[in-house]
Amino acid sequence: MTNRSIGIMIALSEFYFILLLLIRQFDTAYRRKISETTTKNKGKKRGEEEVYLLSTIISGAVYGIHSHLIQVEVDVSQGLPCFQIVGLPGSEVREARERVKVALKNVGVKLPPMSINVNLSPADLPKSGTMFDLPVAVGIMTALSVIPKEAPKDTLLIGELGLSGEVKPVKGVLPIVREAAKRGIRRCILPAPNAWEGALIREVESIGVESIGDAISFLTGREQEGPAVRHSSPVDSEALMQQGAGEEAVDFADISGQEGLKRAAEVAAAGFHHLLIIGPPGSGKTMLARRLPTILPPLSLEESLEVSTIYSISGLLQSAASLKTTRPFLNPHHTITGRALAGGGRIPAPGLISLAHRGVLFLDELPEFKRETLDILRQPLEDKKVQIARSGGTYTYPADFMLVGAMNPCPCGFYPDMGRCRCTPYEVRRYLGRISGPILDRMDICVEAAPMAFQDIAGHAAGESSGDIRKRVMQARERQKERFAGTEIQFNADMGAGEVEKYCLLRAGEARYMEKMFATLQLSARAYHRILKVARTIADLEGSREIEEIHLSEAVCYRRMDLKYW
């Protein structure tokens, strides 16, 4: 190595050493400057210099049917400019960073080049949806002292932000506000279209805003009376319930004849039993099923809020007029998929069996449904709920519905009338075999709709009205309410095996009768208990405190019909 090469290496070493010293001095000076700035900012009053604080905003989220309050913690501090959200945020929540920045810019709030960190607590719960936009924006403005620190205290905020600063409606407001009321929150700021949902909860003051600017004006005390900020008065739920219990569009009086079929429908409505109707085309199966809600007991206020909660989660509540005050009636087409029936998706949403909660799920042309789709109903019919497991957790939705099925006995519809039926025995067996035995075993009442006689079609005598039938159903419902007072059971159909033994005691003669029927019909334990529950309902309709043999005989007849075909 030459002397010249050695000289160059020494010069380079000296240069790198000097550069390292300069970098270290610059870093020390920068850290000292940050420390002095932070110390200087401490204790400053508003207006002298911007103060950067930690703020906490209350929001909420829905997981299945359950709601949780979420703490939106926002920290704005010196450091490398960034905006990050932590706490298991989904893609929609992470995108809130861009929506919030642009929305605040367009309403005149400029974010400084600071480090903005948002934590959604509890951090172990996955967060999804766009309802955190408004609380994140308010949290940032509170940390920047644009909004007084005490202003959002004990206030629930929910809303999606548009780029112009508009506050857009979101799903699931009703269950979140109900949970907030239980936790002592007495004020909520919501999107204006959702404000009526908050007003359903009388314990909470509902404030509707149309833009982030309206929220700032309200929280800073500069609120202007006008259409922008709406103090929604409490919704009179009782009045809505009475209004919903008005005249029905259909009535049982429209059905001529078919007295046996109407009797079975009355028993099913009184005890909330599952019903299967078998009969040829044009015998009134669908006509009767569509009138079942008119004789069911009306929803109570608590049931109405429970059903409305499911519809709120699904985004199906648009106004106070859409509050569910009558029992739902859903009639899906036979091409429905299992996911649409039970619910599902990446973030599981309620399916039709949950939307039919406390109401009627009517499956017309039952054998035309895919067998695997019908078998999805087996667990919900027993457990009264549906559970959907995903990697982010297990979501549970209620599914306490009354299943009503209608079907033809064969492809042509006229079996066992061999004078009209054109089907071979194989085709009949194959058609009926589309319904599995476990589904049939879960049907409390199986009844046959006989072909209509000419006198029934041409007669002008009106049948019994829905109002008259509902009176008897309500009387039976009151007897059940008295019997099950202090328990979670509402209808006879809700009883489990233990409750059947307690509330359906048989005397010696009736017990011998059921022993004989159990052996003759080769009943399963489930079918035996269902007969007792139906007999208990028939006794309630007759005003009898004891289950008599005549009640058992009628209940057994409703189980014998399936033996005729299967």
Residues 163 and 189 in one domain: yes
Q: Which residue has the higher pLDDT, 146 or 560?
A: 146
Residue 126 and residue 114: Cα distance in Å, rounded? 27
Q: Which residue has the higher pLDDT, 255 or 93?
A: 93
Q: Is 143's pLDDT higher than 60?
A: yes
Q: Does residue 42 lie within any of the structural domains?
A: no
Q: How confident is the model at residue 235 (pLDDT cuts 50, 70, 90)?
A: low
Looking at 462, 488, 514, the residue that finishes a domain is 488
Q: Does residue 540 lie within any of the structural domains?
A: no
Residues 226 and 356 in one domain: no
Q: Does residue 73 lie within any of the structural domains?
A: yes
State phi, psi for 63 to the nearest 5 degrees: -125, 100
Q: Going edge to edge, which strands form the sheet with 54-63? A: 82-86, 115-121, 66-77, 54-63, 155-157, 187-191, 205-209, 229-232
Q: How confident is the model at residue 190 (pLDDT cuts 50, 70, 90)?
A: very high
Q: What is the DSSP string of 265-300?
A: HHHHHHHT--EEEE--TTSSHHHHHHHGGGTSPPPP
Residue 369 and residue 12: Cα distance in Å, rounded? 83
Q: Is 227's pLDDT higher than 80?
A: no
Q: Are 162 and 67 in contact (CB under 8 A)?
A: no
Q: Is 460's pLDDT higher than 60?
A: no
Q: Are 177 and 61 in contact (CB under 8 A)?
A: no
Q: Does residue 272 lie within any of the structural domains?
A: yes
Q: Which range marks the domain in which residue 161 is found?
A: 54-235
Q: What is the CATH number of the domain that holds 176?
A: 3.30.230.10
Q: Does residue 544 lie within any of the structural domains?
A: no
Looking at 488, 505, 520, the residue that finishes a domain is 488
Residue 383: strand, helix, or coil: helix
Q: Are 295 and 426 in contact (CB under 8 A)?
A: no
Residue 324: strand, helix, or coil: coil
Least-confidence region, from 73-77, 177-181, 301-305:
301-305
Residue 20 and residue 25: Cα distance in Å, rounded? 9
- C-alpha dihedral sign at 367, 369, 372, 375: negative
Residues 294 and 351 in one domain: yes
How confident is the prediction for the chain on average, in pLDDT? Answer: 86
Q: What is the CATH number of the domain that holds 412?
A: 3.40.50.300
Residues 166 and 258 in one domain: no
Amino acid 47: pLDDT: 45
Q: Helix, strand, coil shares of the chain as percentages rounded to 5?
A: 45, 15, 35
Residues 221 and 330 in one domain: no
Amino acid 49: pLDDT: 47
Where b means 16+ CB within 10 Å and e means fewer, 332-345 reads beeeeebebbbbbe
Amino acid 408: pLDDT: 92
CA distances from residue 222 to 18, 215, 227, 229, 402 in whole angstroms, order as listed:
58, 10, 15, 11, 52
Residue 69 and residue 177: Cα distance in Å, rounded? 9
Domain count, the chain: 2
Taking residues 258-287, report their average pLDDT: 92
- Say if residue 226 is exposed, middle or buried (CB neighbours under 10 Å; 0-12, 13-18, 19+): exposed
Amino acid 310: pLDDT: 94
Q: Does residue 268 lie within any of the structural domains?
A: yes
Q: Are 255 and 262 in contact (CB under 8 A)?
A: yes
| Beta bridge pairs of residue 59 | 70
Residues 225 and 266 in one domain: no
Amino acid 16: pLDDT: 67
Q: Are 520 and 298 in contact (CB under 8 A)?
A: no
Taking residues 232-255, report their average pLDDT: 69
Taking residues 277-294, report their average pLDDT: 91
Residue 132 and residue 149: Cα distance in Å, rounded? 19
Looking at 183, 202, 235, the residue that finishes a domain is 235
Residue 332 and residue 79: Cα distance in Å, rounded? 57
Q: How confident is the model at residue 255 (pLDDT cuts 50, 70, 90)?
A: confident
Residues 159 and 201 in one domain: yes
Helices (H), 183-232: 195-199, 212-219
Residues 218 and 255 in one domain: no
Residue 244: strand, helix, or coil: helix
Amino acid 240: pLDDT: 65
Taking residues 412-434, report their average pLDDT: 88
Q: HSE, CB side, 13 Å, CA atoms: give it for residue 480.
A: 29
Least-confidence region, from 323-327, 429-433, 480-484:
323-327
Distance of CA 280 to the CA centre of its chain: 36
Q: Does residue 37 lie within any of the structural domains?
A: no
Amino acid 42: pLDDT: 45
Residue 157 and residue 151: Cα distance in Å, rounded? 12
Q: Which residue has the higher pLDDT, 460 or 520?
A: 520
Q: Is 275's pLDDT higher than 50?
A: yes
Residues 295 and 443 in one domain: yes
Residue 308: its H or E element: helix 301-313
Digit-coded pLDDT (tens) for 333-376: 999 999 999 998 877 889 999 999 999 999 999 999 999 999 99
- Tokens 């103060």 belong to residue: 51
Q: Is 463's pLDDT higher than 80?
A: no
Residues 203 and 269 in one domain: no
CA distances from residue 318 to 192, 193, 236 in whole angstroms, order as listed:
12, 8, 17
Q: How confident is the model at residue 41 (pLDDT cuts 50, 70, 90)?
A: very low
Amino acid 458: pLDDT: 66
Residues 257 and 109 in one domain: no
Digit-coded pLDDT (tens) for 540-553: 999 999 999 999 99
Q: Which of 499, 449, 498, 486 is nearest to 271 (CA)?
A: 499
Digit-coded pLDDT (tens) for 499-537: 999 999 999 999 999 999 999 888 888 889 999 999 999
Q: Is 66's pLDDT higher than 60?
A: yes
Q: Does residue 87 lie within any of the structural domains?
A: yes
Residue 436 and residue 449: Cα distance in Å, rounded? 21
> Which pair of tokens denotes residue 324?
């569910």
Residue 266 and residue 275: Cα distance in Å, rounded? 11
Taking residues 116-127, report their average pLDDT: 93
Residues 168 and 273 in one domain: no
